[in-house]
């Protein structure tokens, strides 16, 4: 998303320089924060105009049909021509973007970039944390499904949440399944060294020999 915003900001600066005289043109490698914010708002405004025709209304509250999904959000158009979510938080001390986040559709490549940027900025957090961080600035219609879709295709999250591979075990050898007397077929293993000490001798190294019956699974130690 940052790359898209920066390219848009450079294009806007090029168009602005093309319309001005050579002595008044702004030439520089760095982009100011207001220019980047303006470029992002251009994309949001274009997405809203395509997804919500009511966003072309003059600034102020918008009349929405009762059955429309946007009716519960009380949308309105601000002074910059951006469609925002209304609500009852106008008198709170929260920032303006938190009280009235920008309204976005659930689908679209730019919307996916915005959701992915939020998911990565939250260090690949889960569904609830990513959705809460997203709604600080943007209110995506059916945002929970959009965040789920983003997490589902995230390569890092898929690697982290992947189930361990459980290979199929091969058949047991004949020694394990053929009836026989105990300890007729055994498996042998050693353990140690262990330091053993008694009253009459100093500490000495000792080893444990473990015999396992391959049929009855009985264990004998020496």
Res 156 pLDDT > 90:
yes
Question: Residue 210: CA atoms inside 13 Å, Cβ hemisphere, count?
Answer: 10
pLDDT digits (tens, 9 = 90+) for 158-213: 999 888 888 888 888 888 888 888 888 888 898 888 888 877 778 888 889 998 98
**pLDDT bracket for residue 65 (50, 70, 90):** low
Residues 54 and 143 placed together within one structural domain of the fold:
yes
Residues 105 and 212 placed together within one structural domain of the fold:
no
Residues 153 and 195 placed together within one structural domain of the fold:
no
pLDDT digits (tens, 9 = 90+) for 103-135: 999 889 999 999 999 999 999 999 999 999 999
Q: Which residues contact 190 (CB under 8 A, 6 or more apart)?
A: 207, 208, 209, 210
Q: CA 100, CA 179: separation in Å to the nearest integer?
A: 77
Residues 48 and 152 placed together within one structural domain of the fold:
yes
Residues 50 and 136 placed together within one structural domain of the fold:
yes
Q: Cis ω on the peptide bond leading into residue 193 (within 30° of 0)?
A: yes
Residue 109 within a domain: yes
Task: Find the largest Cα–Cα distance for the chain.
Answer: 105
Residue 103 within a domain: yes
3-state secondary structure 55-111: HHCCCEECCCCCCCHHHHHCCEECCCCCEECCCCCCCCCCCHHHHCCEEECCCCHHH
Residues 118 and 183 placed together within one structural domain of the fold:
no
Residue 10 within a domain: no
**pLDDT bracket for residue 137 (50, 70, 90):** very high
Residues 114 and 53 placed together within one structural domain of the fold:
yes
Strands 76-77 and 83-84: antiparallel
Residue 168 within a domain: no
Question: Residue 73: CA atoms inside 13 Å, Cβ hemisphere, count?
Answer: 23
Residues 202 and 138 placed together within one structural domain of the fold:
no
Element (H, E) at 34: helix 33-51
Residues 90 and 153 placed together within one structural domain of the fold:
yes
Res 152 pLDDT > 90:
yes
Host domain of residue 91: 34-160
Among candidate residues 131, 160, 189, the one where a domain is terminated: 160
Residue 144 within a domain: yes
Q: Which residues contact 84 (CB under 8 A, 6 or more apart)?
A: 75, 76, 77, 78, 100, 101, 102, 103
Res 55 pLDDT > 70:
no
Residue 55 within a domain: yes
Residues 156 and 199 placed together within one structural domain of the fold:
no
Task: Work out whether the CA dihedral 141, 59, 50, 130 comes out positive or negative.
Answer: negative
Residues 130 and 191 placed together within one structural domain of the fold:
no
How many domains are there within the chain? Answer: 2
Residue 165 within a domain: no
Residue 3 within a domain: no
Here the tokens at position 32 are 């100011």
Structural contact between residues 76 and 58, judged by C-beta atoms closer than 8 angstroms: no
Residues 136 and 197 placed together within one structural domain of the fold:
no
């Amino acid at each position: 998303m940052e790359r898209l915003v920066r390219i848009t900001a450079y294009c806007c600066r090029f168009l602005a320089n093309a319309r001005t005289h050579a002595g008044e043109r702004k030439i520089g490698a760095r982009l100011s924060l207001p220019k980047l914010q303006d470029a992002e708002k251009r994309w949001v405004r274009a997405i809203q105009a395509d997804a919500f025709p009511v966003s072309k209304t003059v600034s102020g509250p918008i009349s929405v049909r009762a059955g429309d999904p946007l009716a519960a959000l009380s949308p309105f158009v601000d002074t910059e021509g951006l469609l925002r979510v209304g609500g009852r938080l106008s008198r709170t001390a929260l920032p303006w973007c938190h009280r009235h986040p920008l309204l976005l559709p659930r689908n679209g490549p730019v919307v996916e970039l915005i959701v992915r940027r939020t998911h990565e900025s939250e260090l690949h957090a889960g569904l609830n944390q990513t959705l809460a961080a997203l709604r600080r600035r943007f209110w995506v219609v059916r945002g929970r499904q959009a965040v789920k879709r983003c997490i589902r295709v995230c390569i890092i999250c898929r690697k982290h949440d992947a189930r361990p591979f459980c290979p199929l075990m091969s058949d047991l050898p004949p020694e394990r399944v053929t009836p026989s007397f105990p300890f007729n077929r055994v498996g042998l293993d050693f353990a140690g060294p262990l330091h053993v000490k008694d009253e009459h001798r100093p500490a000495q190294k000792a080893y444990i020999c473990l015999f396992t019956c391959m049929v009855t699974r009985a264990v004998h130690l020496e």
